[in-house]
Structures are given as structure tokens and as C-alpha cells.
Chains A and B, each alone.
Chain A
């Protein structure tokens, strides 16, 4: 069936790369539709991490011995791969972080504390993940600054006219998601960045949900900061990337103090390391960094254009299939959307849907998806979310539809 949809995309061959997919759950083949929470990992990533622990394991950046040099080279190679993946000007603009959440916190804490003053404004959007709300709220509270929110329409699209009105000379920062995790909306971030720059504001893009699905070019977007989580891009958990323009990063104070982020330490004074190490205190997640490099390579090898095209076909198929189910309402119907299907069913709570689907081997996310304001806006306590990746198939969407049929049998 998949060959009808995308002849160039051999999903069955790709599925061979993901060992986790070859299992049964409660006696049924696993149908993994929770990739927006975390993506599954291909052998390439698993093997890279294993090789590090088995063959090259050593701390980085300080040993003269062979293993340390190998591990340093492998870890730093990921920065080069990330430069290619995000098209940054330099590897020095790429900071290793634990994930998107830490990337945002780093900017809010380091850039924010230095540049945001009382009465200043920070703009976020109505569809942000809690991780792109709370750090800014904390900063605003500390500084006496104000948080402003770009509203959205019924489809779950940001209203740019309202955004334009919010921008003013007091706006210091605009922090928005490239792709909404709860709704799938792809925001017009290039245009939004240009608008913010015109008003003199700096922009951070939360790329957690974009990176595994779209080509990201930070120079083309002209993003000031762009951050992503490795585990959403088929890499390991606990590692991510924060991109920042060199001029901004150079002017920022360190985020954390410790080893690796210094040049010279005396009790009188410490000189900080140059970029990117200034922001990388302590022994990092070396295995994670190496795994992330393998993940970028893996995704690049398939090609993000192909991935985006295939996932879009899955989204169209899934949208149509779910829309035919009476009493089901899709939450988030933006015209530009990633492969996220968030929905509610009349009279049936998402947790009951999730449990019944799980017993049929189908993994979906239920709850507020760390986006409570989105739930409030659509006046639902929670949704069921099927989020797709390039290793999903049309047959799996059919399984979801059949599973929802069973849900209706039980609860109607």
C-alpha cells in the first residue's frame, strides 16, 4: 500500500533499521504513534553509542591518551554534523545541551538576565509547550517584565495581525515553536522572525518538533536562537543542540560554572573559555552526543525532503481516515501541519481511549501534552494524540482506525 503513496520511499526497508518496532504488545504488533514524545532509535544510533562504550570510552577534551582523543573526535564530529544539519555558519555557534528545555532555559537565564529589564516585554504564542512558557514567566517575574501571548484561530494557527500589534519597542524577545507539539501547526517562523527583527527583538525558535520532520536552515530563517532535542530526531535522550548567533553568544555570560568552560582559574579571577565551550560546564553526555551525530547522519541519509513528503502523505491519509469516524473531532487543523493527529471523541475520555488502544498494541499519547493553555483554548481537558514519523505506515493508521472502532464498541 505504501508504494502507492510514495514510490520512492521504502518504509518497510526503513522499519528494518528500528529494532523496537519488531515486537508485539499484549499479543498485537506494536503500532508506535508517539514519536512527538520521543522517536524510536535506528541501529545506527544504538551501535554508535555501543561502540563508544565498548571501544572508545574516555572523558573528552583533556586526555592526551588515545581513547580520550578518539572520544573527543567522535563527540566534536557531532558538532560538525549539526552544523550541516542546521546550516549554521560555524560549529562554535552550536552548544550541546540536555535538550530543548535546557536550551530555552540557558537563553532565558543567560541572555535574558542580562538583556531584559523592568517593563520590557517577551512575546510567546498560545500554542507553546510548557518549556517555552515557564522559563520566560520565571524571567519576567524576576525582572518585572511582561509576558505577551500571540493568539491563535480555531484551526490552531497563529494570528499574525495580532502578533504585529504586540511587537513594540519594549519587545526584547520573541520565543515561538517552529511546530506545535499538541496541534502539529507549522508556524511561519521565517516571516515572524523578520517581523521581530524589524521591531528590534531577538528571536528564539523552539525546534523540538520541527527538527525530525522539516529541513531547518537557521541562516535562511535568520533565527537568533534555535534549539532542538536529540531524542525527537531518532537520537538518544539527554542531548540536544542550542544554536545561537556568535555575536549574541559571545556577549552572554556563562550559564553554569565548572570544568571545561574555563581558560584560567585562580581564586582571584576566572577567564571563560571561548565558544562553544563557555556554555558547556562539566563532563557532558558524551555517549549522547555521539549518538546524536549518528542520528543526524541517519536522517540526512534518508533526506529530510523525502521524510517531509512521506509524512505529509501519511498525515493526509490519517486526517481523512479519522475524519470519517462519527463523533471524532481533530484538534488542530492548520493549513500547514506536521504529522500530528490530536483528537477528542464525544463522551469518551482520552485516557480510556489510550488504554483500549494500548491493549491492541497501539501507542498514543493522551493528556494535555505539556500544553495546558492549548487545551484550555480548545476547551478540552485533554486529547488523544497520534504523532507519526517516517517509519510509520498507512497500515498502522488503518490499525488506529480499527482500534478506535473497538473504543466506540466499548463506550457507546
Chain B
């Protein structure tokens, strides 16, 4: 059922995205762009030492990509850089493999339905790959359409 994909939490975050704002004092930025979909995203991250103090985004996209960015920014706060990157790996596994769901994912488990929609994996991962670019200081916009 399509409801397995569009769970209430995803619909809620797509209609009322959290942390959807620019951040003037962010010290890590990156852009994500999936030209085939038209999904665009600008990510702002404020690191204090090794810890994500704040994260926010601006952009336009489908329900999956918007909800993913919203829930990602919520889940990042307080995480160290390594923890954030490990979460990215776990999130990617959630979407692309049948491995048991990691407890560390918390609310992000709501995206488990995406694995049954291979064409939509790139929507859910755009924000996360943009995060990696932001932390790595990549200037070029990142895309998940060539995965």
C-alpha cells in the first residue's frame, strides 16, 4: 500500500517542515539538486567544535525529500560529526538493504517504506548527501540522481 510510504509522520513533516529556515551564522553549507525531479535543497549546519549545534534547510521538493530534510535536521542536533556520518550510513542501509533496522535511527525509521520504491530512494537521500557535502566542505551542489 502506498500508505506504507506516505506514513503520517512523513506527511506531517512534508506539510510542516521543521527547521525550514536560513541560518546566518551557519559554518557549514551545501546545496543539493536533483535536476530530473527538480528537488532543490540548501542545507545550513552550525558546528561547535565537533558537535552539531544547529541544522536547518531551505528548498523545494517532493514530500519524501522535504520530510527527509526536516527529520534529518531534527536528528542531527547534538550529534558529533562521526555520529552524524554513521547515521547517514544507517539511513542509507535502511533505504537500500534488508538489513535489520538500527535502533539509532529513531524516528527516521519512518522512511523504511521507501525501500519498496527504488525510484524514490534518491528523494530520501538528497538531504543526507548534502549533509556529507556540508561537513566535507564541498562547493559543488550534490545530486543523488546518479547513484
Contact = CB atoms under 8 A, between A and B. Distances in A.
A372 B36 CA distance: 9
Contacts of B117: 355
B63 A367 contact: no
Contacts of B119: 355
B37 A367 contact: yes
Contact of A352 (B3, B35, B63): B63
Nearest to B4: A359
Contacts of B64: 351-352
B5 A367 contact: no
Contacts of B6: 352, 356, 410-411
A83 interface: no
Interface string B49-75: 000000000001111100000000000
Nearest to B62: A349
Contact of B5 (A350, A355, A375, A382): A355
Interface residues of B, number: 22
A398 to B, nearest CB: 20
Interface in A317-353: 347-352
B60 to A, nearest CB: 6
Given A349-B62, A411-B63, A356 B2 contact: yes
B2 A410 contact: yes
A352 B40 CA distance: 15
Contacts of A382: 37-38
Nearest to B119: A355
Contacts of B5: 355
Nearest to A412: B15
A381 interface: yes
A232 interface: no
A351 B120 contact: yes
Interface in B12-47: 15, 35-40
Contacts of A350: 38, 62
Interface string A351-394: 11001100100000001100010010000111000000000000
Q: Which of A347, A355, A368, A410 has the most CB of B within 10 A?
A: A355
A410 B37 CA distance: 20
B38 A367 contact: yes
A349 B2 contact: no
Contacts of A351: 37, 62, 64, 120, 123
A149 to B, nearest CB: 20
B85 interface: no
Contacts of B1: 359
A368 B11 CA distance: 24
A359 B117 CA distance: 10
A6 B15 CA distance: 44
Contacts of A411: 6, 11, 15, 63
A349 B61 contact: yes
A355 B36 contact: no
B110 to A, nearest CB: 15
A106 B83 CA distance: 53
A410 B61 CA distance: 17
Contacts of B61: 349, 381
Given A351-B37, A372-B35, A375-B38, A381 B2 contact: no
Contacts of A380: 38
Nearest to A368: B38
Q: Which of B6, B37, B40, B60 has the most CB of A within 10 A?
A: B37
Interface string B104-127: 000000000000010110010000
Contacts of A372: 35
B63 A368 contact: no
A351 B39 CA distance: 10
Given A359-B2, A410-B2, A352 B36 contact: no
Contacts of A359: 1-2
Contacts of B39: 381
B17 to A, nearest CB: 13
Given A349-B63, A355-B5, 8 more contacts: A348-B63, A349-B37, A352-B62, A352-B64, A368-B36, A382-B37, A382-B38, A410-B6
Interface of A: 347-352, 355-356, 359, 367-368, 372, 375, 380-382, 410-411
Task: Please give me the 8 A-B residue pairs with the lowest Cβ-Cβ distance, nearest first.
Answer: A381-B38, A349-B62, A359-B2, A382-B38, A351-B62, A352-B63, A352-B62, A356-B2
29 contacts: A349-B37, A349-B62, A351-B37, A351-B64, A351-B120, A352-B6, A352-B62, A355-B5, A355-B120, A356-B2, A356-B6, A359-B2, A367-B36, A367-B37, A367-B38, A368-B38, A372-B35, A380-B38, A381-B37, A381-B38, A381-B61, A382-B38, A410-B2, A410-B3, A410-B6, A410-B11, A411-B11, A411-B15, A411-B63
